[in-house]
Each structure stands twice: as structure tokens, then as C-alpha cells.
Amino acid sequence: MTMKYCSKCGAALPEGTVVCRNCGSGVNLTKPKGDAPKVQATGGAPSGSLGAGAQGAPAWRPGSAPLAGAPLPPQMQAGGSSNRTGILIGCGILFFLGAFLLIVGGIGYYLYSANRDEEKPASPLQKQTQTQQAAPPMQGKTPGADSAAWDDLVREKDAIDITIGEVANRANQHLKKYPDFRNAAGLINDAKAVTERARKAESRAAALEGVDPARCNALRALFAIEMRRAQGLYKGMIDSSNGGDYSYGFREGTTASYAFDEANAQFDNLYR
């Protein structure tokens, strides 16, 4: 019987073999030229063979462990799945390294942009807005949270001003008829009452809540001046009723009246 050999590894193949038991190659059998290879003295594989076992040892079959001393099949040779695994690991490392650099670069750019925005000079419109936000509401027309109480006190200030003027006019009319105020108990009591009225109004203004302090202080100052006006009238009439001179008290009231007119004009311009 003529012996055939594998065209891939040269191993001897019995007749009817479909797969080479040495290298696992498919049937592509050729008869080598010349004489069959000689068997070595040690009983090993024929010369030119790549892995037949000694004394006809069975060759490797697909799915089985490689035989000792037999060459590894192509599926298990170096450079196969291990190389692909190394490539995948390398690609993964490069991907994560690129992502890390991208994140670090983004953070750096954000911080750089934020610093540039802080160093950029504000535009005129921004400066105006910042000034308006920082400025306290010193001259606003809205009195504050307690607006009803504020409006009531402003009306009270105007009413006290009118009342003091009426008492002063009555005092002047009295002096046209009498040289003193000995018989002017009603006028004296009215001057005392309006003095007390201005004092109470000043206390109410001091207790206001939710109103700008500058606005509140301006109103309190007006009530204080009105007290001085009324006290001047009261002092002049008391002094005269006791035989003294009314002019000293009236002079103090007149000076306070001029001060009130000036302060009241400023108040109306700022807060009304």
C-alpha cells in the first residue's frame, strides 16, 4: 500500500484519513516526490516531519490538549488571541487617558475663562446697575413696609403746623386788644396742647418699623422743631400772664418757625 503524507506538515497519513492527526489540516493530500522519508534511528518522525510522535504516537486533534513534543497548531501559536487582548487593553488605556486629558483641559479652560471675566472691566451700564444696587434707598418715594403709619404721621406734621399758625394768629389778635395774656387762659392751654401733640408725634415717628432711617429721622426733626415753635408761644404767654415780657418766648418761637419752613421744604422735595 502506498503511504501518503500531509501537504502541510509532512506527517504520514493512513489511507482514508480526512484530517491530519498531527497539524489538524483538512484533506489536501499529495504524494511526495521521490522515496518515502526515512525513519530516524531513534524511531522518531520521518525527516521533514513537523511533529509526528515517536513510534507512531497519535497526533493532536482539534479540541484536545497539545501533545508533548508536538508543534502547536496554528490556533494555539503565539500572536493569536493574546495579541488581540493586548491590543484591546492598549486601546482602552488610550481611551481613558484621552478622556482624562479632555476633562482636565475642560476644567482648566473654565477656570481661565472665569478669571478673565473677573478681570474684565465693567461696562458703564453694569457700573450704573451696581451703583444702584449698592446705594441705600435714601431718597425713595416709597416710605417702607409701614406706609400707612408713615402717611398718617406726615399728615399729622402738616396738621400741627397749621394749628401752631392758628395759635400764633390768635395771640397777635389778643395783643391788639390787651397788653398782656393774664386773661388768655384758652390761648395758653391751646399752646400747651399743641406742644404735647408734637411731642407724641415725634415718639410715634421714632417707633416706626420698615421705614428708611434717614426718612424717619427727617420727620422726627420736623416734629422737634414744631415743639420748639409751640413752646415759644406757650412760654411767652405764661411769662406775660405772670407780669413778665412775652417777647422772649415769642422770639424763640419765630426762630423755630423759620427753621421749620426750610427743613419742611427739603423734606417735601426728598420724601413726598
pLDDT tens by residue, 95-134: 777 777 778 777 777 776 666 655 555 554 354 445 444 4
Compute φ and ψ for 177, nearest 5 degrees. -105, -35
Choose between 267 and 42: higher pLDDT.
Answer: 267
Q: For 55-72, write each residue's pLDDT tens digit.
A: 444 554 554 444 445 555
DSSP secondary structure of 193-209: HHHHHHHHHHHHHHT--
Question: For 143, phi and psi rounded to 5 degrees?
Answer: -70, -30
What Rg, from alpha-carbon coordinates, does the chain have?
59
Which DSSP helix (H) or strand (E) runs through 130? Answer: helix 124-134
Question: Which pLDDT belongs to residue 27?
Answer: 61
Strands (E), the chain: 4-5, 12-13
Domain ranges of the chain: 1-33, 147-271
Write the pLDDT tens digit of every residue in 31-56. Answer: 544 444 444 444 444 444 434 443 44
Over the stretch 222-263, which tens digit does the pLDDT of each residue have?
Answer: 999 999 999 999 999 999 999 999 999 999 999 999 999 999
Is 151 a residue whose pLDDT tops 60?
A: yes
Confidence (pTM) = 0.49
Q: How far apart are CA 146 and CA 91, in angstroms?
A: 72
- Confidence (pLDDT) at 118: 55
* Terminal-residue alpha carbon distance, the chain: 131
Compute the distance between CA of residue 25 and CA of residue 13 in angstroms, rounded to an integer: 11
C-alpha to C-alpha distance for 230 and 233, rounded to whole angstroms: 5
